[in-house]
Amino acid sequence: MVPTPSQTVGPFFGFALPFDDDAISAADGIRIEGQVLDGAGQPVPDALLEVSQEGQFGRCQTDEEGAFHFTVRKPAAGFFEVTLFARGLLRHLNTRIYFPGEEDAVLASIDPKRRHTLVARGDGGVLRFDVRLQGIDETVFFE
């Protein structure tokens, strides 16, 4: 007998999720916004992202354009841990959002050609961070 593969996660059902304002960890904080894109560069409309660091937590579903946003305070560590759940994934993915100008041993250990996939960029009064699941500029994911 050969084992069968696990079922894929999602699509996610929005009943009671997300909670009101769960993407806002700090009302007076910094807004981080972006999109989740698949390998063809198309938006992923049914993903769920969670960010956490130093007691802050936020959760946001993507909309039909794959867009998400969080309002947070910049942590002393200079980055947020990100957990991503999306259709077609057998397991969630882990990555980080680094604030511009921040670096640590983990970011320094990433191939310099791929580090930019972990660093948010300034875009007016907000920070922009896109998650690319595959392809050119695929986001670095951690085990």
Q: Residue 76's domain is classified under what CATH number?
A: 2.60.130.10
Q: How many domains does the chain have?
A: 1
Which range of residues forms the domain containing residue 58? 30-132
Cα–Cα distance measured from residue 10 to residue 85, given in angstroms and rounded to the nearest whole number: 8
The reported pLDDT for the residue numbered 46 is 87
The reported pLDDT for the residue numbered 23 is 73
Cα–Cα distance measured from residue 107 to residue 12, given in angstroms and rounded to the nearest whole number: 31
Residues of the chain scoring pLDDT < 50: none
pTM for the model: 0.85
Cα–Cα distance measured from residue 7 to residue 82, given in angstroms and rounded to the nearest whole number: 23
The reported pLDDT for the residue numbered 87 is 81
The reported pLDDT for the residue numbered 98 is 97
Would 75 be classed as within a structural domain? yes
The reported pLDDT for the residue numbered 113 is 96
